[in-house]
Amino acid sequence: MKKYNVYLNGEWLEGEQQIQVLNPATGEVFAEVASVGRDAAKKAIDDAHEAFDQWKILTAKERGNYLKAIASALESRADEMAEIITMENGKPLTQAKGEVAMTVDHLLWFAEEGRRAYGRVVPQQMDGKRHMVIKQPVGVVGAIAPWNFPLVLAIRKVAPALVAGCPVLLKPASATPLSACLFAECVEEAGVPKGVFQVVVGNASEIGNEMLENPLCRKISFTGSTEVGRKLIAGAARTCTELSLELGGNAPLIVFEDADFEQALEGIMIAKFRNNGQSCIAANRIYIQRPVFEKYKDALVERISSLKVGEGLEDAVEIGPLVDEQALSQVLEMIDEAVRGGAIVLAGGKRLGDQGAFLAPTLLIDVPDGALCRQEEIFAPAAVLYPFDNEEEVIRAANDTEFGLAAYVFTTDLNRAFRVSEALEAGTVGVNDPAPSTSNCPFGGFKQSGWGRELGREGIEAYQETKHISLGGVF
């Protein structure tokens, strides 16, 4: 069994307890990670604050060079990292390799973008004055990451915070802490000074409360459920801790009758089934224009029924297990509830085997209004199709949700592509593009999908304070 310590203030420590890490494909424990409690989190924040003074005075180019060195260490261990991600999370190995490659790209993008975090000189309105606006690091950052993309979603926070000049405490999800430990080894190899990057594995609410209540922790960046996001907002209401929140989604995917059939079909498969359907931007509600509904339905039954399901490390596997038994029970309950209301299961709809949390890839139609899988994230390889008649109706239906993270449109009509993408209430719209996230463009949610943006230029701004310096008596 593999054992990992926690990386705190430049040292690998044994911690107070151990967290067992399960492989969701087998249900077996394959690793243990040391975990810490609130006192250690407090010490980590103190140490990070201590490291801040020296880290913030480096030039952005120097900090960027550290990020490049981390990227290079990670690239040299890409296969090992991808295997760990597959073992702790369950996703197919090729997708885990994609996650590592995207993480490297985030590091390299932010290494350069840090140098372009410009302020500005503003023309004065009164004689004798001069105005400058400068950008400064916000201070110690608490980064809280989910289990579904355990590496890339953590580094979407860590890379911009570090390059902006902020020390970071990373709290990975308890189900998937190993990729964070391996990443810390890369940080250590890159020679990043002690205290600048630390990993705090442990009880989420203890660590979260310390981040919220410790005045030296100036910012929390969280990716996870809307439910936990609301708890952080409630806590921050007491302390005014700045928050960036990447929360849940309920993405619509709209296929118009003029769409390219093969492109849209492939787009549905990627947007829904990537990452075992456990993606915050997964296509949760698939709207297909009525004249082509049957054609897509038949093709999807065939594609979904032939997906290869299995342990992510096996060759050619396309769908792995869900993250745990609870996730499987939740989706089976959602499917049952829809079926009780009249939904029809055209593929899957049941558990596969008795070892590991596998759902047979599922396709549902005729899901009634008010069904859970219409209102909430399905977070599993289960697609639901809805027919629609016209553009106005489908835009209304697509926007009829409290979430607004991502949306997809498939059409070959350019005017319609603009009209619909501008009308959709979502932070990212993929037009004929089922995988729109990229290092150089902002990502985040409208409505209850979150606050703020990651990636792109905005990704660094999240870790900067803006200061106005006004000079008087300049004649």
Q: Which positions are annotated as active-site residues?
A: 246, 280
Site size for ligand NAP, by CB under 6 A? 28
- Does 183 bind ligand NAP (CB under 6 A)? Our answer is no
- Does 318 bind ligand NAP (CB under 6 A)? Our answer is no
Report the DSSP beta bridge partners of residue 328: none
Residues 365-404 within binding reach of ligand NAP (CB under 6 A): 377
Residues 247-266 within binding reach of ligand NAP (CB under 6 A): 247-249
Token pair for residue 233? 């907002």
CB 270 within 8 A of CB 435: yes
Q: Judged by CB under 6 A, which stretch of 106-114, 119-127, 145-153, 263-271 contacts ligand NAP?
A: 145-153
Helices (H), 123-177: 152-164
Q: Is the Cβ of residue 242 or residue 265 nearer to ligand NAP in the bound state?
A: 242
Give 440's DSSP letter.
T
Q: Judged by CB under 6 A, which stretch of 101-109, 157-165, 202-210, 360-368 contacts ligand NAP?
A: 202-210
Token pair for residue 243? 């928050």
- Length of the chain counted residue by residue: 475
- Does 334 bind ligand NAP (CB under 6 A)? Our answer is no
- Does 427 bind ligand NAP (CB under 6 A)? Our answer is no
- Does 330 bind ligand NAP (CB under 6 A)? Our answer is no
Q: Is the Cβ of residue 158 or residue 247 nearer to ligand NAP in the bound state?
A: 247
Q: Is the Cβ of residue 86 or residue 89 nearer to ligand NAP in the bound state?
A: 89
Token pair for residue 92? 């197919």
* 3-class state of residue 318 by DSSP: coil
- Does 148 bind ligand NAP (CB under 6 A)? Our answer is yes
The CA-to-CA distance between both ends of the chain, in Å, stands at 72
**Could you tell me which of 135, 44, 137, 25 has the C-alpha nearest to residue 88?**
25
Q: Is the Cβ of residue 249 or residue 252 nearer to ligand NAP in the bound state?
A: 249
- Does 145 bind ligand NAP (CB under 6 A)? Our answer is yes
CB 315 within 8 A of CB 351: no
- Does 267 bind ligand NAP (CB under 6 A)? Our answer is no
CA pseudo-torsion sign 291, 293, 299, 303: positive
Q: Judged by CB under 6 A, which stretch of 117-125, 203-211, 361-369, 390-398 contacts ligand NAP?
A: 203-211
CA 384 – CA 319 distance, rounded (Å): 17
CA 202 – CA 198 distance, rounded (Å): 13
CB 209 within 8 A of CB 241: no
Buried b (16+ CB within 10 A) or exposed e, 280-305: bbbbbbbbbbeebbeebeebbeebbe
Binding test (CB under 6 A) with ligand NAP, winner from 23, 223, 244, 362:
223
- Does 283 bind ligand NAP (CB under 6 A)? Our answer is no
Least distance in angstroms from the C-beta of 144 to ligand NAP: 5
Token pair for residue 257? 């009758």
- Does 15 bind ligand NAP (CB under 6 A)? Our answer is no
Least distance in angstroms from the C-beta of 274 to ligand NAP: 12
Binding test (CB under 6 A) with ligand NAP, winner from 45, 74, 152, 228:
228
362-365 and 344-347 strand pairing: antiparallel
Q: Is the Cβ of residue 8 or residue 60 nearer to ligand NAP in the bound state?
A: 8
CB 169 within 8 A of CB 45: yes
- Does 331 bind ligand NAP (CB under 6 A)? Our answer is no
Note the residues at the interface with ligand NAP (CB under 6 A). Answer: 144-148, 153, 171, 173-175, 204-205, 208, 223-225, 228, 231, 246-249, 280, 377, 405, 445, 449-450
